Structures are given as structure tokens and as C-alpha cells.
Amino acid sequence: MASYDVVVAGLGGFGSATAYHLAARGHRVLGLDPHPAGHAFGASHGESRIVRQAYFEGSAYVPLLRRGVELWERLVRDAGEPMLRETGGLFLGRPGTRIFEGSLASARDWDITHEVLDADEVSARFPAFRPPPGTAALYEPRAGVVPPERAVLAHLRLAAAAGAQLRHGQPMLGWEPRGGAVRVHTAAGSVDAGALVLATGRWAPDVLAGLGLPLRVEPRVMHWFAPSGGVAPYEPGRFPLWIWERDDGTAPYGVPALAGAAGGVKASVHRSAVRPAGSWTAQEVARLLGGLLPGLGAEHLRSVECAYTLTPDEHFVVGRHPRVPAVVLACGFSGHGFKFTPVLGEALADLATGAEPAYDLAMFAPGRFAA
């Protein structure tokens, strides 16, 4: 029976990065995934993912985000292709709302370069925006976007070049503990491994059934629009990425026109306080945006579905299996995980090989829901 140091089940955002870090350290890695590389059935597709340091989800993420930027830059060098594109980021809402105040608190805690703008200053700087009076905005000039499909493919390519065996079209069918190690089953037979990393995204609730993790899979729809008057005012340099918390708690977001006029301008709903966030149609999103970006939603170009895998506290699940330490869990990324794929790939490689991660991952402990 073949044996490996680590089997990685799931070769999407996190599994591809983990396989890369493991293989680059010289470990024998087998990667399994039922779908083709860079597919659009999970959570790592749709042209762009936001990368920022001012983190309203919690200041505790910032050390990881800082290392993350170093690793994104390393990926650019190693893969030899552009990846991280700085566009600046605006995080808007009334004073007192979480997205504005949380972004500001983490920027202050960690000395992240930022400016605070009022509604008129936002419009003067970025003419496509017309925030309602009383809106405040944190502007982070170094925020940007990464292309998720290309990042996954780059991690997979580098992992394979470093010796990882990657089997697409071959899911993990099951696993069992074997002493301090693990036996992994596939349709092509079983393999033994020192450790197993489970990075199966929206399929985690099935793969981890029996563990009692409170994971909830919710659809989200990304929409692309052709703005009235053309895309020029929405192109990088004149238009930052943005997240806007409305007074009703609904939070749409978007990014600049990254692919010129043909590509359009992307916008979606991250969180919705008034109805399921995945239920907003393109026309409804266009209307919703009218209060911030009146020209953006003029013509709907296309929509693509994706899925969030949410935990109750919206912090990730990253750590050893509560009962089987040779199995490492990476799931529940709650709609904000992609920017962490390189840095948590590095930490998952540590966990799978008995090394101590350089970061405190206690807030992601799989066992935290047990109580």
C-alpha cells in the first residue's frame, strides 16, 4: 500500500496552498479532489477576492494578514505571474456600525495606513460614489484583490513541481485512524499517511458528519454590471474595492472593473439582515446600490453562484480533529477566508507535520463549539 507523509483532501483555496507548503518543505504529499483544478463548484472562483488588513472581523486576524501579504508576494515571485493587485479599499457605514468602526479599530490597533473620510470627501476622491449624508468611510490604500482561480492553479502547479501527487477526479471516500496515523480510502484503493488535512469547503458538513460542527452552507451570487456612462470611472486607480454597511445591516460590496468594459463591474451582497443574502437578484442589487453608486447597476451582464460555509461566530475552523490529532481540519471560512489561503496553508502544513504554527490559532479551535 502506498504511503505519504500527508494526504490533503480538497484542492481548492486552502488545500492547494497547504499542498504547496508541504511539498516545498520536502514532504511526500498526495492531494485528492473530485473536481478539475480551478473549478467553479466550490468557493474559490469568480475573478476576485478582497485582501485587506483593516479587519472589522477582529484585530486578532492582523498578524496573519501581515504574513499573508508576504506569502502572496512570494507566490507572485514563485509562480512568475501577477496576483495581488492594490486598488485601495473603502469600508463605509454610519459611525457606530461594525464595518466602519471595526476596520478603524484594527487599523489603529496595528498602525495600518488609513484615512477617515466623510461622505463628501469620498465623492470628491472617487466620483462614482455618492454616499448618503452622515456616512463615514475608512480608506485603506494598500487593500487590493487577488484572482482566486489563478491563485489555486499557481499553488497546485508549484506543489506538483515540488513533487506532490495531485489526483483530480478522485475524491476521498473515507478515512480511519491507524495508531497515530491515518488510512485514507479512495475508489482507486487506500493509502496510509502520517496526517490527513480535510479542506473540503462547502462539502465539509458531509465529510465531517458526526463531529457535530455547526457549519451552515449558504449561497451567494456575484453579479457583474455595465455602468451607465462606461467603466472608466470604475477602473482601478479611480475606484477602490468597497464594503458598505447600510442602516438596515445589509452589507453589499464590490470591486473595480478589473477586465475593462467587457468584464464589467462586480458587486454582491456579503451579509443581509432583512432576507437571505443569496436571494438578491441582479436587479435588486442594482437598486440596493443606487444609494451609494447610482450609475453602477445600469445593465446586468452576468451572475455566478458561490457558497459561504459559515460558523456561528464567523471565525474559521482550523486545528486538529478533537479526537484524532493526525487529522487536521480547515473549513468554516465564513465568506472571508480566501485572503488567508497562503498563510493558513503554511500553518496547516505545520499542524500536519507536528510543527508549532507561528500564530495563535486558538480562536479557530474546532472544539470551541462543544460547550
Ligand X SMILES: Cc1cc2nc3c(=O)[nH]c(=O)nc-3n(C[C@H](O)[C@H](O)[C@H](O)COP(=O)(O)OP(=O)(O)OC[C@H]3O[C@@H](n4cnc5c(N)ncnc54)[C@H](O)[C@@H]3O)c2cc1C
Residues interacting with ligand X, by CB under 6 A? Answer: 9-15, 32-35, 42-44, 46, 49-50, 171-172, 199-203, 207, 220, 222, 268, 306-308, 331, 333, 335-339
Give whichever of 207 and 213 is closer to ligand X, judged by the CB atom.
Answer: 207
| Dist. CA 357–CA 351, nearest whole Å | 7
Give whichever of 119 and 344 is closer to ligand X, judged by the CB atom.
Answer: 344
Cα–Cα distance list, 92 to 99, 201, 234 (Å): 7, 29, 17
Give whichever of 119 and 197 is closer to ligand X, judged by the CB atom.
Answer: 197
Cα–Cα distance list, 16 to 138, 268, 303, 341, 349 (Å): 33, 26, 26, 8, 11
Give whichever of 171 and 194 is closer to ligand X, judged by the CB atom.
Answer: 171
Is there a contact between 141 and 113 (Cβ–Cβ < 8 Å)? yes
Give whichever of 119 and 311 is closer to ligand X, judged by the CB atom.
Answer: 311
Q: Considering the complex, what minimum distance in angstroms separates the CB of residue 17 from ligand X?
A: 8
Q: Considering the complex, what minimum distance in angstroms separates the CB of residue 269 from ligand X?
A: 9
Give whichever of 26 and 216 is closer to ligand X, judged by the CB atom.
Answer: 216
Pairing of strands 49-51, 144-146: antiparallel
Q: Considering the complex, what minimum distance in angstroms separates the CB of residue 8 from ligand X?
A: 8
C-alpha cell at 172: 476521498
Q: How far apart are the first and last CA of the chain?
A: 40
Residue nearest to ligand X (CB): 12
Q: Considering the complex, what minimum distance in angstroms separates the CB of residue 201 from ligand X?
A: 3
| Dist. CA 254–CA 263, nearest whole Å | 14
Q: Considering the complex, what minimum distance in angstroms separates the CB of residue 118 from ligand X?
A: 25
Q: Which of left, alpha, beta for 111 (phi over 0: left; psi -120 to 50: alpha)? A: left
Q: Considering the complex, what minimum distance in angstroms separates the CB of residue 124 from ligand X?
A: 26
Q: Provide the CB-side half-sphere exposure for 260 (13 A, CA).
A: 1
